[in-house]
Every structure is written in C-alpha cells, then in structure tokens.
Amino acid sequence: MSGGSYYVPASSKWPIFAGLALAAMLVGLGILLVYGWGSWIMGLGGVAILVVMGLWFRDVIKESRGGLYDAQMDRSFRWGMGWFIFSEVMFFAAFFGTLFYVRTFALPWLDGEGAKGVSALLWPDFAASWPLMNPPGSEIEGPRGIANPWQLPLVNTLFLVTSSITLTIAHEGLKAGHRDSARNCLIVTLILGVCFLLVQGFEYYEAYAHLGITLQAGIYGSTFFLLTGFHGAHVTVGAIILASMLWRLQCGHFERDNHFGFEAAAWYWHFVDVVWIGLFLFVYVF
C-alpha cells in the first residue's frame, strides 16, 4: 500500500466543463427531439465533450509522465476501469434481459400460453414467432425479411475476433519493447474495427431499404437496433480510444512496464468484442 507518495491533484477546471458539455449535448438532443431544433447545441456539446476529455487526459498524461504517479495510483486506475467496464456489462445485461424476456415470456403469453393467458384476448389471431414478422397490432408493420447470420454478421464476427487477437499481439509487442510491431498491429486492429463499422452500416442500410427491419417494425426491430446500435456506438468509442492510443504510441508515450492507458483501451475493446459474440449468438443465430 501507500508509502505516502499518493498524488492528489490540485484543483481542476475540466470536470465542471465536462459536466456542462454533457448537459449541453443532452439538452440539445432533448430540444431536438421534442421541439425540432437545437441540433447545434447538441453538436456544440458533443464537440466540447471531446475537447474537454482531451484536455483532461492531457493533464493526466503529463502527470503520469512527470513521474508523479506511483504503483498505488496505477492500481486505482485499474480498479476504476475494471468497475467501469462492469457497469457497461450491466447496461448491456438490461438489453439482453429484454430480448430474453420478450422471446420467452411476452410473445408466448400474447399467443395465449400460460395458465391465465388474458393478454391473448387482446389479439386472438396473433401467433407468436421469432423473429416476430407479424406484430399483434395491425397498425404496426413487421419486417419483410431478416438478415442471414452466416453472411455479413459472420464476417463481422471474424473482423472483431481477429481485431482482439491483433490487439493482444500489439500489447505483447509493447511489453517486449517492440514498438514497431505494436504500432503495426494496432493499426490493423483499427482497420478491422472500421471495417466492422462499415459492414454494420451497410447492414443497417439493407435492413431499412430492403428487409423492412426498422425501429418502428415492432419488437424485433426494436431489440435488433437497441442491441446492435448500442454495441456499434461502443465500437465507435473504442475505435476513437484506440486511435488516440496509436497517436500516443507515436509520441513515444508508453513504457514497457508502464502503459495502463493502452491496457485500459485494450480491456474496453475486448469487452466490446465479447458483447458482440453474445449479439451474434442471440440476435442473429438463435
């Protein structure tokens, strides 16, 4: 534990700016959704968040490279990142829970299964199925088709799994002091991540343009976009983090035995990868 060298930073202006930036983004989005204007507030807030985070992390990096941090500080960061990822796991757990609940309970009950089956009286003609092509209410139009998991989704699975492997190789390279191999593998990881996002974007286009899978297409479209959408957002964030790690690597930031920034980015990326495996299995295959 501590030998009395734990670094306590002096006051900082970034946290409160970060709070205001976040508020601007959310309030802007709210105004946009409710009143139809305000996108510039949202955009400003979003950009401000990125800028403030950059400045905040710049301070942290400076302190770290200035030798102000000790092993105990390193552990604080590790606990911090670890529990943050746990909170993300629970965030996705809520969405997976939704998917399972709808498939195992809600739809069969609407179809009359179960002891009471009262809700079956609402739409007597409804037949449960998954993917739900014909939602109970006639006002909601279901999807016309679904994506084949063994085409683009499989390709995307390969992209992400490979990217996790290349990232691990990059990390090993960093630990062994092979900066060039670390950089190259990191670049490959990033490219794979971007490919994933492009394929995902194409899939969304297909869903909307040809398959009729939309946010409004009943519970199948809802869960599909909820899970893949938030996952895609996390891949995007992860790619931004990896890109800044690449930049830091180029600046010569990481030491063989001291590169938690890189490690944290890798943890995050692996987490996003694991979530995708869950998605591939339960959203696409089964």
Partner 1 sequence: MAPKLPPKAPLEHGNSITGGASAHEGEHHYRSGPLRWLLTTNHKEIGTLYLIFSLSMFMVGGIMALVVRLELFQPGLQMVQPEFFNQMTTMHGLIMIFGAVMPGFVGLANWMVPLQVGAPDMALPRLNNFSFWLLPIAFVLLLSTLLMPGGGPNFGWTSYAPLSTTYAPPSTTFFIFSLHMAGISSILGAINIIATILNLRAPGMRLMDMTLFVWTWLITAFLLIAVMPVLAGVLTMMLLDINFGTSFFNAAGGGDPVLFQHLFWFFGHPEVYIMILPAFGIVSVIVPTFARKPLFGYSSMVYATASIAVLSFTVWAHHMFSVGLPLVAELFFMYATMLIAVPTGVKVFNWIATLFRGSITFETAMLFALAFIVLFSIGGFSGLMLAIAPADFQYHDTYFVVAHFHYVLVPGAVFSIMAAVYYWLPKWTGHYPDERLGRWHFWLSVIGVNLLFFPMHFAGLAGMPRRIPDYALQFADFNMASSIGGFLFGFSQLLFIWVIVKCVRGGVKAPARSWDGATDLEWTVPSPAPLHTFETPPDMRRIES
> Contact with partner 1 (CB under 8 A): which of 98, 184, 244, 258?
98
Distance (Å) of CA 17 to CA 48, 56, 63, 193, 255: 8, 10, 20, 30, 31
The residue among 24 and 185 lying less far from partner 1, judged by its C-beta, is 24
- In whole angstroms, the minimum distance from the beta carbon of 135 to partner 1 comes to 5
Name which of residues 216 to 255 contact partner 1 (CB under 8 A): 216, 218-223, 225-226
Site for partner 1 in 22-41 (CB under 8 A): 22-23, 26-27, 29-30, 33-34
Q: Which is nearer to partner 1, 123 or 179 (CB)?
A: 123
Question: Which residue in the set 95, 196, 268, 271 belongs to the binding site for partner 1 (CB under 8 A)?
Answer: 95
Instruction: Output the CA–CA distances (angstroms, integers) from residue 246 to 167, 173, 180, 252, 270, in the order listed.
Output: 11, 13, 11, 10, 17
Q: Does 140 bind partner 1 (CB under 8 A)?
A: yes
> C-beta of 70: minimal distance to partner 1 in Å?
9
Report the distance separating Cα 43 and Cα 25, nearest Å. Answer: 7
For 84-111, give the DSSP string. HHHHHHHHHHHHHHHHHHIIIIIHHHHT
Residue 40 or 83: which CB sits closer to partner 1? 83
Q: Contact letters (x/-) for partner 1, 178-217, by CB under 8 A?
A: -------------------------------------xx-
- CA–CA–CA angle 282, 238, 16 (5° rounding): 120
132 contacts partner 1 (rule: CB under 8 A): yes
Kindly tell me the burial class for residue 112, based on how many C-beta atoms sit within 10 Å of its own C-beta (0-12, 13-18, 19 or more). Answer: middle
